[in-house]
Amino acid sequence: MQRILGAIALAAGATLAFSTGALAQTAISIGDPYSGCTADAGTGTNYASAEVEPRVSVSGSFAVAAWQQDRWSNGGAHGLVSAASTDGGSTWSEYPQPFSVCAQPFYRFQVAQYNRASDPWVSIGPDGTVYSNAITFNGSNRQNGVFAATSKDGLHWTNLVPLVQYITNGGQFSTDKNSITADPDHAGVAYSVWDTLVSATDEPDDNPRAFAYNGNGYFSKTTDGGKQWSAPVVIFPTTEFTQTIGNVIVVDPRNDNLYDFAAWIVHPNSFANTQTFAAFVKSTDGGTTWSAPQQIAQMFSVGVTDPNTGARIRTGNIIPEPAVDPTSGQLYVVWQESSQFKRGNVRGGEDDTVTLATSIDGGASWKLTSPVNTFTGLPAFTPTVQVDAGGRVAVTYYDFRNLSATNTTTLPTDYWITYSSNGGSIFAGERHVGGSFNMLAAANASGFFVGDYEGLAASGSGFLPVFGMTNCADNSCSLSNGGSDAQDIYTASGF
């Protein structure tokens, strides 16, 4: 697919229609601003022009997304890129973010001095300030940290601030799975969270199953629009052989309560008995003090493979995704799991599906709905949840329903959205968002990979999904088959 890169701003809006008759999807990742970057050369396989793992935030007609650009096989990407829309997601422009040395041509030397970046996150505050953060690291020496930045237009970034850095002991301390949340009511206030794995066994973000001696959840806060951030503090403490991953804060706008949701990985007797819980901690004073960790439910994922060949597909299988109803304060969390695994029959053949938990009493009690996805019998994975101002809940996810039993050369994958208008008890009205695309043409980063998470935001009376796909339904776009632009970030309207 033809890609045109502008010298300053990157125009986006190419439309791609796949053969399944789905709504047209719009590619918002156009060109490769880091195509000339050689940082960390020789330390892994770099998938040039492979864009993965987007997030998105919307405020009125203003939308901002960010993603990984040029994914590495063993963790992170050359850098991160953001895109902005001022018409509700119909048209987009894009520009690099300053989270790695690959962005130096765009920011001179006002960039994080690390060779890779990962885990893009964006959130728009009530005054229009856009907050973003990322993990940054080197593939060669494992130096790493978490950086934050702000923007007024979602494209050009300032206030680049290191929240934490490990320069001399990056092999022992590894930051991972950051997120950032703008306070919906208080201008200038935002919250950043992440985990730090102690004695982790792999580069940041690449192997979320890597066992660590501990992996506390950390918190930092700004009250001046991102110019300064508070010193990191532990808000989700872990003991030896336990860790958190995927920390995300949501804010109840009725009372300013903060909830930090995460996966809580524990080893009660041995590593062989690992248990992973959807869990949270809560603050009622703006993040000064926090509750003890509280379990929601155990997550029983078996992971995802190609049903016909066994090829590994990397998904968000241990990452819970939260949301809050902006009017009622009702809490929602989704994750993928196998009910067969839940019953103890791990090898029984039942695949991961989508589970939702919801609470109407501030997390004191939870009700589960499973499965959320309509089609079962083949894996459904990497769900995301959001709630609009009217209380309607939307959940997006991928699945393999268009894979035939005899197909061993491609893996048709589709992206879907489904809705609930009764507080998450029943989901209906499933709609096709994107695909079918061939997952086996994607970058291989501990499995074929489009992201550990995807983007979904409430937008007016609807929702704006932003998600990763490969650019072919066959093998023509894969790098191994001579392709030069295997995958992109897409959005679709009308949801």
Helix, strand, or coil (residue 273): helix
> Beta partners for 322?
333
pLDDT in tens, 437-465: 999 999 999 999 999 999 999 998 899 99
DSSP 8-state secondary structure symbol assigned to residue 433: E
Question: What is the predicted pLDDT for the residue at 320?
Answer: 97
Helix, strand, or coil (residue 246): strand
Give the integer Cα–Cα distance in Å for 281 and 30: 39
CB 373 within 8 A of CB 418: yes
Per-residue pLDDT for 224 more than 50? yes
HSE of 377, CA atoms in CB hemisphere, 13 A? 7
Give the integer Cα–Cα distance in Å for 157 and 217: 26
pLDDT in tens, 338-350: 875 554 444 445 7
Residue 226 CB partners (closer than 8 Å, separation 6+): 129, 131, 148, 149, 150, 159, 161, 190
Helix, strand, or coil (residue 272): helix
pLDDT in tens, 63-114: 999 999 999 999 999 999 999 999 999 999 999 999 999 999 999 879 999 9
pLDDT in tens, 384-442: 999 999 999 999 999 999 999 999 999 999 999 999 999 999 999 999 999 999 999 99
Question: What is the predicted pLDDT for the residue at 340?
Answer: 59
* Portion of the chain with pLDDT greater than 70, in percent: 89
pLDDT in tens, 210-219: 454 789 999 9
> What is the pLDDT of the chain when averaged over all its residues?
90
Per-residue pLDDT for 308 more than 90? yes
Per-residue pLDDT for 205 more than 60? no
Give the integer Cα–Cα distance in Å for 78 and 490: 20
- Calculate the CA dihedral of residues 110, 112, 113, 119 and round it to 10 degrees: -150
Question: What is the predicted pLDDT for the residue at 269?
Answer: 65
Note the pTM of the prediction, 2 decimals.
0.92
CB 163 within 8 A of CB 99: no
**Cis omega (within 30 of 0) for bond into 371:** yes
Tell me what the mean pLDDT of segment 301-320 comes to.
95
> Beta partners for 275?
266
Q: What's the sign of the alpha-carbon dihedral 204, 223, 58, 247?
A: positive
pLDDT in tens, 14-23: 444 443 334 5
DSSP 8-state secondary structure symbol assigned to residue 104: H
Which residue, 130, 192, 194, 142, is CA-closest to 167?
A: 142
Question: What is the predicted pLDDT for the residue at 10?
Answer: 37
Give the integer Cα–Cα distance in Å for 447 and 206: 10
Question: What is the predicted pLDDT for the residue at 267?
Answer: 82
Give the integer Cα–Cα distance in Å for 142 and 72: 14
Confidence of residue 273 (pLDDT cuts 50, 70, 90): confident
Tell me what the mean pLDDT of segment 123-144 comes to.
96
CB 53 within 8 A of CB 65: no
Domains and CATH numbers, the chain: 15-491 (2.120.10.10)
Question: What is the predicted pLDDT for the residue at 483?
Answer: 84
Lowest mean pLDDT among 6-15, 117-126, 266-275: 6-15
- Alpha-carbon distance values, 465 to 18, 19, 273, 418 (Å): 17, 20, 36, 12
Question: What is the predicted pLDDT for the residue at 22?
Answer: 43
Lowest mean pLDDT among 169-178, 224-233, 254-263, 309-318: 169-178
Strand pairing class (448-449; 312-314): parallel
> Beta partners for 83?
65, 94
